[in-house]
């Protein structure tokens, strides 16, 4: 569904000829009309759409359409992508992300190398783990690498080395300024800035491997949730920095929090009163940053505790080389919830203010409330949808 409009994209399950998994239908549910039908060479694995673009993901191809006229604009060749790893930003900028192709597939930069070089001026090469735009097209063939693509102007933007092993999940935030990745190990979740290519956060889901099903940002990019094949859904807290998230809304319940050094990613957790601040912000942002330091969801009867001054250990940590601090730094979850059917959970449906909605393939929908100070989320509603 295109946001809350009547435009719906449907793909069949293949139990009869009229519902072939290779056929995509665009419907107007309000007028009850069939806008168009598209047939593809193989089964449609995933569909992404916003107000400007429609993206159709096949096992080894990605099709980009102009949604206003359903004109095919571009086809991207990919390596076999059975899990349909791909995401499109909800904003009109239409940032597209997908795993880099293997050596047997042409690099998206091989034809448009000049685009890569023209965009290179705005990048910082020292990025704490995220490799920025590169001049060599060979870098697009590395395992654990993602490609950022401008689906609006049909041009490659960036290639970033996110992990050393195969990717299991990738996701963009609402406005396409941040993206999250997890490898097939499932222990570390990384957040990157799409503009600079820098790694801005690194979170630890756990010590044991797990298959990450989905990474989901909330609307203001202050929280990200991770579902896996375990019973626990982890929710991590991102720092509220407009330079990183580009949100600036300040209306989310959890949009406040301590501000820490950019690129280090010391998000505050439930039991981690870190207290490190980034004091190198511009004067223009001081008023807004001051508002973000004060939590928005404090009880009227509670007292605002003074912020702890950095200890000697904090100061030593701040001066560690970034390649060392990043090893010590990965933060645990800010909040979490447990589901009754761990192997049925596929994705976080979304965030709704202070609530997180988790769906499962058995037809259940769980609504949990996230505590303002983190910890275990509280189940408030549960729905069951019969097939």
Domains of the chain: 1-82 (2.40.10.480), 85-342 (2.40.128.630)
Longest dimension (CA), the chain: 70
Torsion sign, CA atoms 118, 121, 125, 127: negative
The answer, yes or no, to whether residue 122 has pLDDT greater than 70, is no
pTM: 0.71
> What count of other Cβ atoms lies within 10 Å of the Cβ of residue 337?
22
DSSP states of 182-219: EETT-SEEEEEETTT--EEEEEE--SS---EEEEEE-T
**Which of 211, 210, 205 lies closest to 234 in space, CA to CA?**
205
Tokens 């569909």 belong to 47
The answer, yes or no, to whether residue 131 has pLDDT greater than 70, is no
279 to each of 124, 283, 353, how far by Cα in Å? 20, 10, 29
Q: Average pLDDT over the chain, rounded to whole?
A: 75
Q: Which of 124-128, 336-340, 356-360 has the lowest mean pLDDT?
A: 124-128
Give the C-alpha separation, 269 to 273, whole Å.
Answer: 7
37 to each of 3, 25, 107, how far by Cα in Å? 20, 5, 30
pLDDT score, position 207? 85
Between strands 355-360 and 345-352, the pairing is antiparallel
pLDDT score, position 140? 56
Question: Tens of pLDDT along 172-186?
Answer: 999 999 999 999 999
> What count of other Cβ atoms lies within 10 Å of the Cβ of residue 282?
8
């Amino acid at each position: 569904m295109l946001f809350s409009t009547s435009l719906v994209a449907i793909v069949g399950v293949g139990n009869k000829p009229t519902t072939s998994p290779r056929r995509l239908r665009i419907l107007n549910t309000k007028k009850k009309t069939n806008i168009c039908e598209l047939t593809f060479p193989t089964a449609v694995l995933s569909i992404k759409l916003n107000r400007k673009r429609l993206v159709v993901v096949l096992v080894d191809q990605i099709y980009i359409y102009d949604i206003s006229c359903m004109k095919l604009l571009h086809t991207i060749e990919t390596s076999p992508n059975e899990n349909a790893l791909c995401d499109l930003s909800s904003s009109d900028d239409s940032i597209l992300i997908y795993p880099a192709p293997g050596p047997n597939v042409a690099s998206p930069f091989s034809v448009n190398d000049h685009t890569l070089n023209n965009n290179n001026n705005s990048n910082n090469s020292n990025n704490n783990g995220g490799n920025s735009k590169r001049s060599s097209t060979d870098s697009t063939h590395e395992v654990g690498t993602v490609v950022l693509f401008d689906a609006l102007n049909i041009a490659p933007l960036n290639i970033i080395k996110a992990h050393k092993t195969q990717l299991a999940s990738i996701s963009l935030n609402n406005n396409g300024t941040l993206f999250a990745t997890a490898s097939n190990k499932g222990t570390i979740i990384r957040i990157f800035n799409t503009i600079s290519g820098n790694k801005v956060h690194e979170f630890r889901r756990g010590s044991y491997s797990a298959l990450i099903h989905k990474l989901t940002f909330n609307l203001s990019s202050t929280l990200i949730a991770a579902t896996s094949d375990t019973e626990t859904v982890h929710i991590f807290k991102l720092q509220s920095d407009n330079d990183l998230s580009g949100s600036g809304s300040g209306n989310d319940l959890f949009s406040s929090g301590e501000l820490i050094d950019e690129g280090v990613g010391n998000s505050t957790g439930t039991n981690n009163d870190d207290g490190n601040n980034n004091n190198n912000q511009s004067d223009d942002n001081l008023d807004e940053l001051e508002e973000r330091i004060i939590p928005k969801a404090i009880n009227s009867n509670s007292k605002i505790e003074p912020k702890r001054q950095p200890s000697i250990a904090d100061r030593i940590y701040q001066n560690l080389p970034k390649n060392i601090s990043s090893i010590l730094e990965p933060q645990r979850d800010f909040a979490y919830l447990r589901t009754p059917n761990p192997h049925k959970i596929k994705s976080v449906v979304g965030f709704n203010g202070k609530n997180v909605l988790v769906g499962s393939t058995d037809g259940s929908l769980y609504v949990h409330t996230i505590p303002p100070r983190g910890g275990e989320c509280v189940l408030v509603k549960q729905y069951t949808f019969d097939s």
